[in-house]
């Protein structure tokens, strides 16, 4: 049998999808046909969740009912709070993975793999992610979790549950935009991993836990945290050029640059860039933005090799300006991405085929077995 080696499954088309379209050469991203730029300007996270999970933009009535359902799913079972207390010393991403794994045991639809049940589970998971992240963050700081508020939007309620204070309009708008921009992105590593689990006909929670584990790495969700660390190391725009040159000379990557699919600027980056600029201006902390701008300028020569800024480059500075600690950056990505994971899993279930690639064996053959006492 003739086989082709496709390391990292680069350029391999896994399946068809109706959820998102990416043109990596032109830097285009559409959610169900709508350009990310229109959604970033006119829509909000809840509406985009509905669009992704239910296939079309909601009417006012549908959106109202959807929001009510999300609000009703926000409170966590008390047993989950206890689980989060037990893992309070864990990295927030590990706590999220553990909390969501445990939450499966309390989901009334856990054993039902019908489409209707999976849509209900998707909505519940979307509402529960921020609650798990916020509760763990409070507990690890020696504070009690803050009960969710019914009158706040998804983004506002998350910020409220983190700090116990009602966030500013500007903070809510930044968080909402960040969630919206991260909501769905095709067969990225974590969504692909979720599809692999779903393709065995395992349940939705198992597939989501797989995705959380996959998002954690610095080549995927961890990049924003790494960019923030880099910005702190650079410390001043005047030091950016030398820092970048030295890093590249050591064969290291500049975090927040490059993308497996985009060989032009990631279309989400411009919205985060603008938020980073405006939040920096309004909080009087413009240094982060200035350093990032300088790094972007110093990286311009690499554009000819298709290495452009990606969504994570400015995301870290936005979180930082919102007062969010670095180890919450990846869980925040997960809170934004949960509807995307869910729709990818739903699509996999709708037209399932076991995902099982091959490996090209390069080891020795015909090795004679040596008994234990002769080795």
Ligand X SMILES: CC(C)(COP(=O)(O)OP(=O)(O)OC[C@H]1O[C@@H](n2cnc3c(N)ncnc32)[C@H](O)[C@@H]1OP(=O)(O)O)[C@@H](O)C(=O)NCCC(=O)NCCS
Q: Pick one of 37, 253, 263, 290: the residue that binds ligand X (CB under 6 A).
A: 253
Q: How far is the CB of 306 from ligand X (least distance, A)?
A: 7
The reply to whether 259 belongs to the active site is yes
The encoded tokens of residue 301 equal 């020569």
Q: Pick one of 181, 212, 255, 315: the residue that binds ligand X (CB under 6 A).
A: 255
Q: Is residue 133 within 8 Å of 97, Cβ to Cβ?
A: no
- Radius of gyration for the alpha carbons in the chain, expressed in angstroms and rounded: 22
Catalytic one of 37, 54, 91, 220: 220
CA dist 179 and 54 (Å) reads: 18
Question: Which residues from 288-317 bind ligand X, rule CB under 6 A?
Answer: 305, 307, 310-312
Taking the least distance from each CB to ligand X, the nearer of 135 and 223 is 223
Count of residues near ligand X by CB under 6 A: 16
Handedness of CA 288, 234, 228, 139 (dihedral sign): negative
CA dist 123 and 129 (Å) reads: 10
The encoded tokens of residue 310 equal 């990606």
- Please report where in the chains the tokens 């080891």 appear, as a residue: 363
Q: How far is the CB of 64 from ligand X (least distance, A)?
A: 34
Q: Which stretch binds ligand X (CB under 6 A): 93-101, 132-140, 247-255, 336-344?
A: 247-255
Q: How far is the CB of 223 from ligand X (least distance, A)?
A: 4
Q: How many CA atoms lie less than 13 Å away from 39 in the CB half-sphere?
A: 32
Q: CB neighbours (10 Å) of residue 58? A: 17
The reply to whether 91 belongs to the active site is no
Question: DSSP 3-state assignment of 20?
Answer: strand
Residue 254 makes contact with ligand X by CB under 6 A: yes
Residue 272 makes contact with ligand X by CB under 6 A: no
- Please report where in the chains the tokens 């903070």 appear, as a residue: 171
Question: Which residues from 200-229 bind ligand X, rule CB under 6 A?
Answer: 219, 223
Q: Is residue 275 within 8 Å of 282, Cβ to Cβ?
A: no
> How many residues are given for the chain?
375
Catalytic one of 259, 266, 271, 298: 259
Taking the least distance from each CB to ligand X, the nearer of 10 and 169 is 10
Q: How far is the CB of 245 from ligand X (least distance, A)?
A: 12
Q: Name the residue with the smallest CB distance to ligand X.
A: 258
Taking the least distance from each CB to ligand X, the nearer of 105 and 219 is 219
The closest alpha carbon to 173, from 70, 74, 318, belongs to: 318
Residue 246 makes contact with ligand X by CB under 6 A: no
Q: Pick one of 130, 148, 167, 258: the residue that binds ligand X (CB under 6 A).
A: 258
Write the Ramachandran bin of 34: left for phi over 0, alpha for psi from -120 to 50, otherwise beta: beta
Residue 126 makes contact with ligand X by CB under 6 A: no
Residue 259 makes contact with ligand X by CB under 6 A: yes
Q: How far is the CB of 261 from ligand X (least distance, A)?
A: 8
Q: How far is the CB of 335 from ligand X (least distance, A)?
A: 16
The reply to whether 185 belongs to the active site is no
Question: Which residues from 169-188 bind ligand X, rule CB under 6 A?
Answer: none
Question: Which residues from 337-356 bind ligand X, rule CB under 6 A?
Answer: none
Q: How far is the CB of 115 from ligand X (least distance, A)?
A: 30
Question: For 20, phi and psi rounded to 5 degrees?
Answer: -145, 155
Q: Is residue 118 within 8 Å of 201, Cβ to Cβ?
A: no
Question: DSSP 3-state assignment of 352?
Answer: coil
Taking the least distance from each CB to ligand X, the nearer of 199 and 310 is 310
Q: Pick one of 54, 149, 260, 263: the residue that binds ligand X (CB under 6 A).
A: 260
DSSP 213-273: HHHTSTTTTTHHHHHHHHHHHH-SGGGHHHHHHHHHHTT---TTB--SS-SS--TTHHHHH
Q: How far is the CB of 218 from ligand X (least distance, A)?
A: 6
Residue 257 makes contact with ligand X by CB under 6 A: yes
What residues contact 33, with CB distance under 8 A and at least 6 apart?
A: 21
Question: Which residues from 2-31 bind ligand X, rule CB under 6 A?
Answer: 8
Catalytic residues: 220, 259, 312
- Contact footprint for ligand X (CB under 6 A): 8, 219, 223, 253-260, 305, 307, 310-312
């Amino acid at each position: 049998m003739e086989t082709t080696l496709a390391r990292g499954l680069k350029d391999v088309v896994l399946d068809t999808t109706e959820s998102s379209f990416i043109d990596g050469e032109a830097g285009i991203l559409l959610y169900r046909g709508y350009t990310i730029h229109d959604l970033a300007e006119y829509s909000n996270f809840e509406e985009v969740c509905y669009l992704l999970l239910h296939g079309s933009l909601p009417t006012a009535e549908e959106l109202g009912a959807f929001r009510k359902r999300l609000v009703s799913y926000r409170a966590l079972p008390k047993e989950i709070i206890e689980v989060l207390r037990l893992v309070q010393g864990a990295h927030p991403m590990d706590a999220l993975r553990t909390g969501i794994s445990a939450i499966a045991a309390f989901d009334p639809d856990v054993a039902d793999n019908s489409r209707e049940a999976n849509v209900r589970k998707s909505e519940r998971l979307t509402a529960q992610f921020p609650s798990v992240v916020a509760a763990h963050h409070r507990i690890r700081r020696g504070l009690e979790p803050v009960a969710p508020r019914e009158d706040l939007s998804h983004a506002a309620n998350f910020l409220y549950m983190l700090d116990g204070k009602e966030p500013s309009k500007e903070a809510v708008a930044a968080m909402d935009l960040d969630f919206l921009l991260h909501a769905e992105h095709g067969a990225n590593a974590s969504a692909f991993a979720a599809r692999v689990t779903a393709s065995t006909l395992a349940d939705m929670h198992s597939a989501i836990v797989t995705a959380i584990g996959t998002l954690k790495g610095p080549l995927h969700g961890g990049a924003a945290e790494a960019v923030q660390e880099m910005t702190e190391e650079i410390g001043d725009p005047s030091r950016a050029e030398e820092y970048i040159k030295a890093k590249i000379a050591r064969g290291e990557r500049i975090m927040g640059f490059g993308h497996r699919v985009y060989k032009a600027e990631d279309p989400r980056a411009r919205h985060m860039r603008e938020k980073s600029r405006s939040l920096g201006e309004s909080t009087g902390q413009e240094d982060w933005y200035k350093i990032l701008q300088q790094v972007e300028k110093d990286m311009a020569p690499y554009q000819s090799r298709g290495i452009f800024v990606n969504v994570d480059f400015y995301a870290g500075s936005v979180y930082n300006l919102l007062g969010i600690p670095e180890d919450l950056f990846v869980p925040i990505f997960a809170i934004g991405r949960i509807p995307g994971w869910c729709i990818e899993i739903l699509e996999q279930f709708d037209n399932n085929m076991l995902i099982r690639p091959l490996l090209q064996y390069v080891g020795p053959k015909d090795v004679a077995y040596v008994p234990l006492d002769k080795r």
